[in-house]
Amino acid sequence: MNMEPPGLLLALSDAPRALTDAAFLTIASPFLRRLPPAPRPKSVMVIPGFLGDDRGNGPLIRFLGHLGYTASGWGHGRNLGTQSFSEDSLRESIEPLLSAGNGKVSLIGHSLGGIYAREIARVDPQWIDQVITLGSPFGKGRHNASHANRLYQRLNPQPDERDNADILDTPPPVPTTAIYTKADGVVNWRTSRQAGDNHHVHNIEVLGSHIGLNLNAAVWYWVAKKLAA
């Protein structure tokens, strides 16, 4: 299946629209902070997208902390691809969160970070409560469906066997929610939707940009709702 990347207008406007997402979030924040708190001790790790870092996810992490979750970033600096971390080091970052979350941690991944989150849950499902992805291109046809693919390949010339496997499109064996926007200017939104009718698999559409999904008021609402379920 061939997927085209988003059109030029969507691509060029994605960053400016992310500023609009952030501005609206400022207005909506007082209402979002009234959402129900964590129903029990729960831990959450937020994994940044390609070229992102924990500072960019700081507002979302602090919001989840306000709701009573033990929330943190991934602790591996800027996400430049698979060279940014090893699987063992990422597991070490998750381990401290397990005791605070009764042996489980929920993973939220923006774009490329969501692919990592799904694969962690596939390998170690006993640790993962649920996975929430934000505009993550894990679906079939993803290889040519992103404007960031060429830069990613330059920074990560060593092939990843899983990248060419159909398994990335298969949801991990934990509750998994895919949040996406049809106005995505970086990846084709169709690759960010999950296939299948498993009752643990959900797709949620929001309005907004790709870059600004981690600062999107509707995303924060759905993240809080899913974590509290």
What's the pLDDT score for residue 142?
A: 80
Mean pLDDT, rounded, of the chain: 92
What's the pLDDT score for residue 88?
A: 85
Token look-up 């005791």 returns 99
What's the pLDDT score for residue 118?
A: 95
Q: Is the pLDDT reported for residue 70 higher than 80?
A: yes
Q: Is 185 helix (H, G, I), strand (E, B) or coil?
A: coil
Instruction: Between 157 and 204, name the one with better pLDDT.
Output: 204
The CATH code of domain 8-31+43-228 reads: 3.40.50.1820
DSSP codes joined into one string, 17-42: HHHHHHHHHHHHHHHHTTS---SS--
What's the pLDDT score for residue 59?
A: 98
* Token pair belonging to 37: 């708190």
pLDDT in tens, 106-118: 999 999 999 999 9
Q: Is the pLDDT reported for residue 210 higher than 80?
A: yes
Q: Which of 56-60, 119-123, 152-156 has the largest mean confidence?
A: 56-60
Mean pLDDT of 161-186: 86
What's the pLDDT score for residue 197?
A: 66
Q: Is 226 helix (H, G, I), strand (E, B) or coil?
A: helix
What's the pLDDT score for residue 160?
A: 64
Mean pLDDT of 80-87: 83
Quick one: which of 221, 78, 92, 212 has its CA closest to 155? 78
**Rounded distance between C-alpha atoms, residue 225 and residue 229, angstroms:** 6
End-to-end CA distance of the chain: 35
Give the domain ranges of the chain. 8-31+43-228
In the chain, % of residues over pLDDT 70: 95
What's the pLDDT score for residue 143?
A: 74
Quick one: which of 144, 122, 145 has its CA closest to 133? 122
Residue 135, C-beta contacts closer than 8 angstroms, at least 6 positions apart: 49, 110, 111, 114, 179, 180, 181, 184, 186, 187, 189, 192, 210, 213
Q: Is the pLDDT reported for residue 208 higher than 80?
A: yes
